[in-house]
């Protein structure tokens, strides 16, 4: 089977939805590298469908694709933070926004980001933002110890 490189930016700009496997731990624990994949849907050309708490795919100016959560937006752009981070990034200009997460595939189980259980978990995690890196690290250490037993 051929490993074909896909231009995610072009697909989204052409109105296509794409499944991606996020890399890194910035969105832990709601999106986990190696376990989860996400469905990214295109944004409207006017970006009127961008809302606080959405998870968006954007391109850092002249750099990499990033998948983070919207924490604030204004005329200058959108401000983001990873679910496993404390520092806010932005403003990211609207022109660099590519798409929005609509579904998460967790081990074959589909989770719609509009699901009430997902929304409650997300809001609790956002409320805990000041201490969440410490919580995530503690949970990870516990999981590693449990696996060793």
Residue 2 has pLDDT above 60, yes or no: no
Residue 133 has pLDDT above 80, yes or no: no
Helices (H), the chain: 8-13, 116-127, 132-148
pLDDT in tens, 3-59: 566 789 899 999 999 999 999 989 988 899 999 999 999 998 888 889 999 999 999
What per-residue confidence (pLDDT) applies to 1?
A: 44
CATH number of 8-148: 2.10.109.10
* Cβ neighbours for 36, distance < 8 A, ≥ 6 positions apart: 21, 22, 104, 105, 106
Q: Is 117 helix (H, G, I), strand (E, B) or coil?
A: helix
Q: Cα–Cα distance between 88 and 82 in angstroms, integer?
A: 8
Average pLDDT, the chain: 90
């Amino acid at each position: 089977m051929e490993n074909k490189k896909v231009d995610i930016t072009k697909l989204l700009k052409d109105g296509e939805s794409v499944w991606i496997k996020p890399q890194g731990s910035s969105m832990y624990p709601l999106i986990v590298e190696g376990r989860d994949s996400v469905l990214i849907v295109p944004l409207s050309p006017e970006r009127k469908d961008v809302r606080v708490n959405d998870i968006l795919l954007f391109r850092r100016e002249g750099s990499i694709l990033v998948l983070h959560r919207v924490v604030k937006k204004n005329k200058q752009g959108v401000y983001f933070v990873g679910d496993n981070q404390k520092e806010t990034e932005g403003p990211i200009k609207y022109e660099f926004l590519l798409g929005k997460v609509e579904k998460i595939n967790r081990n074959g189980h589909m989770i719609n980001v509009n699901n009430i259980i997902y929304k409650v978990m997300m809001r609790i995690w956002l409320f805990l933002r000041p201490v969440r890196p410490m919580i995530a690290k503690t949970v990870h250490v516990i999981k590693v110890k449990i696996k060793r037993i």
